[in-house]
Amino acid sequence: MSQPPRSTFRSVLTWLCVSGILLAAACAQSATPVPEAAAWHHAGQVIVVTTPDWNADHGTMRTFERRSGRWVATADAVPVMVGRAGSAWGLGLQPVQKDGPQKKEGDGRATAGVFHIGDAFGYSATFPTAMSYRGLQVSDYCVDVDGSPLYNTIVDARKVGDAAVKGSTEPMRRDLHANGDTRYKLGFVIEQNPANKAGSGSCIFAHLYRTPTESTAGCTAMSEDVMRRILGWLKPEEHPVFVLMPQRQYNTLAEAWSLPTWDGRP
């Protein structure tokens, strides 16, 4: 079959793009890929943490819910602490981003991106939250041993065996393993690296801070009052997501990614 003249092909392509028949991505290149709408379009609740830059160990957290198709803030912004080395793009629901550091195991960075919110957890046997809740036991560990078949999962050593959690630095009952540490008294799982890819970061949570200025190994830390409010607010039927980014990246991506927008001020 003979090919049409190149000039004719360009004319047809231009007409198709203008007519909206071709995907927008075929008409113009974008430096910030827009994720598939299916990734989190059904989310009715979102927790947003923004930081000053990639290396900041602190940030501001806001909560929003969707009302009549619009994001509405549900509470005042509050301060939080993040990774001691700042943040880095993690493996979440968003397309792969190249304009910043990439999360690696043990780098001390919080994970940037958009993530499903997983189970809530705490030291008490029960807690009044609609989310699935795990009352932690002394034998519960999150496995942060790179290369382990249980990498990035919370397991009960009584079931998987002590050898399976050997070397893990994340006993979940820190009050019993780490001199009364209350950081995991209440928290929830941020579903970073859901495929448990080796070396890409593990055991990322939202949890309590010990002091308002103490950074974390990669989690997001807040006061107990704030955590209690959030766990009482979250509803699994709203498919809540957790978002963390430096403010500059968030301002660039929020509208295209159908996330809440604001002027960036606390």
Question: Tens digits of per-residue pLDDT, 148-176?
Answer: 999 999 999 999 999 999 999 999 999 99
SS3 261: coil
Quick one: which of 235, 240, 236, 260 has its CA closest to 250? 260
At 262, the amino acid letter reads W
d(CA 239, CA 41) in angstroms, rounded, equals 9
Residues of the chain with pLDDT under 70: 1-38, 263-266
Domain-by-domain residue ranges, the chain? 45-257
Summarize pLDDT for 220-260 with one digit per residue, the tens: 999 999 999 999 999 999 999 999 999 999 999 999 999 99
d(CA 189, CA 155) in angstroms, rounded, equals 13
What is the residue-wise DSSP string for 161-193?
-GGGGTT-SEES-HHHHTTT--TTSEEEEE--S
- The pLDDT score that the predictor gives to residue 9 is 40
Q: Cα 21 from chain centroid?
A: 34
DSSP code of residue 20: T
- The pLDDT score that the predictor gives to residue 39 is 84
- The pLDDT score that the predictor gives to residue 264 is 58
Predicted TM-score (pTM) of this structure: 0.86
- The pLDDT score that the predictor gives to residue 262 is 81
